[in-house]
Structure 1
């Protein structure tokens, strides 16, 4: 990918890495699916009145919204509400990197290059190192919900890439990613609110809505405007323009940001394994995205000039 796209992907990784700590703060005293419904209402309104519908079929928009927003975040929010540490959650959901590459190869015939496979393998090794360092006694249900979130994210990535490849007019404009983010969000609020009413009960939902706290409002603003509108707006645009195996590995940086954010905000002190694994993740991303090759090409002319 060109430098501009690379920097955009790095910005998304930074925003999403902070997202886990922000969500965890907002879930204090708030039913998880109600919080999700509120987040996506803020994503939709007022943006939907200004952002045009994406050039895609309604069923494709609905499918992307279901997997990338409703399914992924329902399971992530439930996982965090069940006690999953934010730093560890940011790690587990990165299973979507490998799953996306596998699903894209199966559904879109986008076979990763040998260099990309090496980079993904190094990054996956980093994830395993961090995982062994944070295993602890996390509840199985919370862990499985995070794995489910990763699976839903991977499916959503492939669906977004497929729609981007088949969009009329060739390469989508930058606004296309934002359009898909806003319009696919229509799938989320009503089902999330209905399920919350069913399982949490009207009294719990009513109490939460009438006793919103400042952290909950700030968390909603961050997750809706930064994580969803900015983050997924950029993300969907990149997936529409470049192969999934070139874009998705950038999200391996998310747990690095997430673990350090949890350290700074919630005193989740990183272990030696996490630091080593985070370093491996950085190297894996650099290999997969071609950043190391770009640095090498840049240094060669510099070395010649010095000679």
Structure 2
């Protein structure tokens, strides 16, 4: 990767790592599905008036908007709302790298290597271990919703891999226009699940804290973060770019501990270690084996 793209990837890591404590602050005052609608309204407006929509099929906008935007954050916001620790959510969400690998193999016919299969087994064991440790500090529903969010993110990654097939695409403009897709399903779900009374109460008592959370989530985590992420996913192989979110849990866990005093149980650390080891084997195992063979 070019040095400038590495620097941009690290900026995404920082923005997304802090994102989890901001989500926790937001859902403390705003129902999670309503917060999702406000996030993407902030991302889309007024930016759509300054960017021309890339010439892509409507199905591409819908696929991206309903997976990486609506699906991922409907599940993630709800997970944190029901008690999933923000730092632990940042860790479990990185299972998206393996779901990306699975989905890319099915839809894009990308091949697997032995190291990727070994990494998948390790990561699956880590996720299973984390899942068995549910309780007061981590409700099972929160864990399962976070895994569902990872699946949605992975599906959106596969969509991102197809953006430049017919020529260069302004990826920031694409993210802006794709952000018009999720607000409506978020609002519909909010009306049915959270209820009109909760929506009216949240908007009537909208605080500076809530406004700050919406602005960070809409402008920082979405426009900046996903604009850069889509750029990286379109320029490099999915299994190469997926290495950088390995660093997101370091920021997320640190921010959760500093802001909310979140402390993980030993079994969470062990399971998280297996998950991160599996991701490392997936991304670097083949390269390491090649070097070892060359040395011998």
What TM-score do the two structures reach when normalised by structure 1? Answer: 0.82
Q: Are the aligned partners of 1:110 and 1:243 in contact in 2 as well (CA < 8 Å)?
A: no
Structure 2, gaps ≥5 residues long: 292-296
**4+ runs deviating over 3 angstroms:** 112-132, 134-137, 270-290
Q: Deviations over 1:230-251 (max 9, x none)?
A: 1000000111111111112321
**Offset at residue 214 of structure 1 (A):** 1.8
Q: Deviations over 1:26-60 (max 9, x none)?
A: 11131111111111111001111112212321111
Task: Name 1:154's counterpart in structure 2.
Answer: 154
**Offset at residue 99 of structure 1 (A):** 0.7
How far apart, in 2, do the equivalents of 1:146 and 1:33 lie?
15
**Offset at residue 160 of structure 1 (A):** 1.3
Q: 1:124 to 1:253 in 2, by over 3 A?
A: farther
Task: Name 1:63's counterpart in structure 2.
Answer: 63
Q: Are the aligned partners of 1:78 and 1:142 in contact in 2 as well (CA < 8 Å)?
A: yes
Does 1:216 find its partner at 2:210? yes
Q: Deviations over 1:48-84 (max 9, x none)?
A: 1112212321111111110010111011111111111
Q: 1:277 to 1:254 in 2, by over 3 A?
A: farther
**Offset at residue 114 of structure 1 (A):** 5.7
Query: Superposition pairs for residues 46-125 of structure 1, below 5 Å?
Result: 46-112=46-112
What TM-score do the two structures reach when normalised by structure 2? Answer: 0.85
Task: Name 1:261's counterpart in structure 2.
Answer: 255
Task: Name 2:294's counterpart in structure 1.
Answer: none
Task: Name 2:41's counterpart in structure 1.
Answer: 41
What is the total number of aligned residue pairs between the two structures?
288
Task: Name 1:241's counterpart in structure 2.
Answer: 235
Task: Name 2:5's counterpart in structure 1.
Answer: 5
The one of 158, 171, 178 aligned to 2:172: 178
How far apart, in 2, do the equivalents of 1:94 and 1:125 lie?
14
